[in-house]
Amino acid sequence: MSLTLSSAAHLSFSSSFYRISLLSSSQSLHCRFKTKASSSQKTGVIIIGAGLAGLAAATHLTSNNIPFLVVEASDGVGGRVRTDVVDGFLLDRGFQIFITAYPEAQKLLDYEALRLHKFYSGARVYLDGQFHTVADPLRHFADSLKSLTNPVGSLLDKLLIGSTRIRVLSKSNDQIINSTETTTIDMLRDLGFSDSMIARFFRPFFGGIFFDTQLETTSRLFDFIFKCLALGDNTLPERGIGAIPNQLAAKLPSNSVLLNSRVVSIDSFSKTASPRVKLENGEILQSEHGVILAVEQPEVDKLIAGKNLVDKRPGRSTICLYFTTDTQMIPVKDPVLFLNGSGKGIVNNMFFATNVASSYGPSGKGLVSVSLIGLYNDVSDGDLTAKVVEELSGWFGDSVVRSWTHLRTYRIHFAQPNQRPPTDLMKESGVEKGLYLCGDYMTSATFDGALVSGRKAVEALLRERQLPFIY
């Protein structure tokens, strides 16, 4: 969907928040941001948090002509979906892939402008000193025929992949999200997959998506992701994964995002008709219509203590290490994801980012992205790098991997909420009059889930005010 801000109704709101800009996208992104909150300023809705959920809420408020201000603690938009530019390399903060079949994303994002670059549909599994290809038969038929006899799984396993595909495609997304759930591992066993297929393919592949090597994540999420993978491509935007939130932010009205502004408290809504939030610097912002809390799960209880609104189970963690080397020292040319199917070592998955999109590195340089699951708190960054280099030397050869230079390590403590059953992936946004929650913990821990939750919060707000929701 492409949003137009040309609606005359926009212009009727507070001119300091609503100025239509005709700048280019990078200039206009800059202009979304306010540098300072004016003291005791009042706006329609205050959105706390500029991750995908908060930006989706802001997008829907824009199309519904409701004035708002997004208040973000950090120095940029995107929350967990950000890209750093380091010496000409695009370093996503953790390995992330954008699946084009995400249904909510299809409605909100301009895919063409993101210039998406595709991964190979399948993976290469490292096992017993060799690589084995697991290919999607509908996209890489010849490769999939060759992979029928590889040791990653049995012939039956490969047939079961086909029947799982048919099963998930026959269900609507709502049916999947509301289906009877179990853990992913139990479901895979119940479906008849062999232990070797689970250990060599599902554990590194879906474990890498859920940051959960035990595959305890709800089967509902497995089915949803499996369906999206069947229908769409795995991709990276040309300017990094952060281009996704940047695109949403660039379409918001001028001065509608306040960065570097941590909210420290929210007024009790039952006590006041005009909810207020307090910033770390002491400033007070007042909202006319309500507050949308779009922060990550661990932050929710800090801001609305005592309500016991969120799951207390520890979230999922991951580490991503980046290396660079000359392009000729990248051992393969294809845009494929490598999985560790050996059951040994600390690497879960890795890929050569510049093989997927050459824009991820400066000319002549390759970018290597390596992901681990968990935090390895007791291992220093230096030791971790050394272990990864040693392990991957076994995969690609000593002379290749020893030429790589370590660029940066990201330790991501809270990557995703824990989505082990029991789950409710359709939580109600309204907490009390004027306070609405959104974030991936309300739906599914995906880009799509975060976007859905932002829409649902705006729907709840408009419903309470007896206003229609315009998509």
The residues binding ligand FAD (CB under 6 A) are: 48-54, 71-74, 79-81, 94-97, 262-263, 294-296, 299, 303, 318, 412, 415-416, 439-440, 445-447, 450
Nearer to ligand FAD, 137 or 204 (CB): 204
Cα dihedral sign for 232, 453, 371, 347?
A: negative
Give backbone dihedrals phi and psi of 234, rounded to 5 degrees, phi first. Answer: -85, 130
Nearer to ligand FAD, 185 or 244 (CB): 244
- Smallest Cα–Cα separation from 158: which of 120, 206, 197, 119? 197
Token pair of 74 as six digits:
């950090």
Does residue 227 come out as left (phi exceeding 0), alpha (psi in the -120 to 50 range) or beta? alpha
Nearer to ligand FAD, 97 or 356 (CB): 97
Token pair of 71 as six digits:
């208040």
> How many Cα atoms are found within 13 Å in the side-chain-facing hemisphere of 259?
14
Cα dihedral sign for 350, 352, 355, 356?
A: positive
Minimum Å distance from CB 103 to ligand FAD? Answer: 12
Minimum Å distance from CB 267 to ligand FAD? Answer: 14
Nearer to ligand FAD, 50 or 58 (CB): 50
Minimum Å distance from CB 262 to ligand FAD? Answer: 4
Nearer to ligand FAD, 366 or 454 (CB): 454
Helix (H) or strand (E) holding 91: strand 89-92
Report how far residue 144's alpha carbon sits from residue 148's, in angstroms, rounded to the nearest whole number: 6
Cα dihedral sign for 69, 71, 75, 81?
A: negative
Minimum Å distance from CB 295 to ligand FAD? Answer: 4
Report DSSP letters for 298-338, one per residue: HHHHHHSTTS--S--S--EEEEEEEEEEEGGG-S--S---E
DSSP 78: B
The Cα diameter of the chain in Å comes to: 68
- Report the Cα 374 to chain-centroid distance in Å: 17
Give me Rg for the CA atoms of the chain: 23
Minimum Å distance from CB 330 to ligand FAD? Answer: 22
Minimum Å distance from CB 137 to ligand FAD? Answer: 23
Nearer to ligand FAD, 119 or 404 (CB): 119
Minimum Å distance from CB 50 to ligand FAD? Answer: 5
Minimum Å distance from CB 265 to ligand FAD? Answer: 9
Nearer to ligand FAD, 50 or 168 (CB): 50
Nearer to ligand FAD, 153 or 449 (CB): 449
